């Protein structure tokens, strides 16, 4: 090979290396731009923790209406008769379950959504898929919900002392399967409601005007979350009624969701509207709970991301 040929080859090589080095500088790393997903887990868990501490008594009142199909005054009289000592009985399972559940809801949703959007999948399809996956992950925590139901039910007041006692008794006498009684209605509730929540929330965010003052931001976030939560909670209310009816049983066969629906329907005079006993209080509870969750989530998010 001649000197001219070598010089030409070296110059081409230097040119190629220069282009590659320029490309490495100008093209940003995809991983460098990834959000810190752990922060979403913390924001979701913290918002749920705040919510449970405030709204638990109202949740318990609504539970009694779902369980017995009674009016608000009757359920309230039951709680007053039992006394203050039993008012916060069973709070530990929902406190743990709800905090972990909201942590998974926001965290897993964010983890699933980002890769889908990177692949340029339709945003609505991506949000639906991410919400469904997050809902399925949440369902793994249903043993907390199961134990809470037993602790709140009056007929188990003398049977179980606390959360640990109930969990030990179930594991010893019935096995792991008993912790997941009522799984199907929970799956039907969690996935679709999560997807709808995130889609509607993002749409509302885009439509609402930007608020510069922190107080106005908090009020706006509270009202947005409260309205969406109340709507979705009412829509999926019958599934909660079925779930509670399933989980009030301890031992025996695991009935299907269709069987339980028909049984409750017959028991309540074959009127579907009777599934909505306690729905008005549930709207109030959901309005308060999701308002607190959404507003406190944004506060945690602002603290961690700034």
pLDDT tens digit sequence for 240-257 = 999 988 998 898 888 899
The answer to whether residue 26 is domain-embedded is: no
The answer to whether residue 29 is domain-embedded is: no
Read off the CATH number of the domain in which 183 is found: 1.50.40.10
For residue 32, the model assigns a pLDDT of: 39
Residues spanned by the domain of 177? 36-305
Mean pLDDT for 11-36 is: 41
Choice among 24-28, 202-206, 260-264 with the minimum mean pLDDT: 24-28
Q: How confident is the model at residue 128 (pLDDT cuts 50, 70, 90)?
A: very high
Q: Does the pTM exceed 0.75?
A: no
Q: How confident is the model at residue 3 (pLDDT cuts 50, 70, 90)?
A: very low
Most confident among 20-34, 158-172, 189-203, 279-293 (mean pLDDT): 189-203
The answer to whether residue 30 is domain-embedded is: no
Mean pLDDT for 112-139 is: 94
Q: How many domains does the chain have?
A: 1
Question: Is the pLDDT score of 189 beyond 90?
Answer: yes
The answer to whether residue 191 is domain-embedded is: yes
Question: Is the pLDDT score of 225 beyond 60?
Answer: yes
The answer to whether residue 159 is domain-embedded is: yes
For residue 16, the model assigns a pLDDT of: 38
Q: How confident is the model at residue 66 (pLDDT cuts 50, 70, 90)?
A: low
Q: Could you give the CA distance from residue 150 to residue 169 in angstroms, rounded to a whole number? A: 12
The answer to whether residue 42 is domain-embedded is: yes
């Amino acid at each position: 090979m001649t000197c001219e040929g070598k010089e030409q080859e070296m110059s081409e090589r230097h040119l190629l290396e220069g282009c590659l080095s320029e490309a490495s500088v100008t093209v940003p790393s995809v991983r460098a731009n990834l959000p810190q997903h752990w922060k979403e887990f913390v924001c979701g868990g913290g918002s749920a923790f705040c919510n449970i501490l405030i709204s638990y008594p109202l949740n318990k009142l609504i539970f009694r209406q779902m369980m017995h199909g009674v009016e608000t005054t009757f359920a309230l009289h039951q709680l007053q008769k039992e006394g203050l000592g039993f008012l916060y009985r069973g709070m530990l399972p929902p406190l743990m379950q709800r905090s972990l559940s909201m942590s998974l809801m926001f965290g897993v949703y964010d983890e699933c959504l980002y890769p889908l959007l990177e692949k340029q999948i339709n945003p609505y399809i991506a949000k639906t898929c991410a919400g469904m996956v997050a809902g399925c992950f949440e369902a793994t925590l249903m043993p907390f919900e199961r134990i809470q139901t037993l602790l709140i039910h009056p007929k188990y007041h003398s049977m179980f002392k606390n959360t640990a006692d109930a969990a030990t008794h179930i594991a010893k006498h019935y096995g792991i399967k008993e912790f997941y009684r009522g799984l199907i209605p929970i799956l039907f509730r969690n996935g679709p409601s999560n997807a709808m929540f995130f889609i509607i929330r993002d749409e509302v965010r885009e439509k609402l005007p930007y608020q510069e003052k922190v107080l106005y931001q908090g009020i706006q976030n509270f009202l947005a979350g409260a309205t969406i939560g109340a709507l979705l909670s009412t829509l999926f209310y019958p599934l909660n009624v079925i779930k509670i009816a399933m989980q009030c049983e301890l031992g025996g066969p695991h009935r299907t969701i269709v069987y339980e629906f028909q049984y409750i329907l017959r028991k309540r005079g074959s009127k579907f509207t009777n599934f909505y006993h306690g729905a008005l209080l549930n709207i109030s509870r959901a309005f308060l709970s999701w308002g607190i969750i959404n507003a406190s989530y944004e506060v945690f998010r602002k603290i961690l991301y700034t």
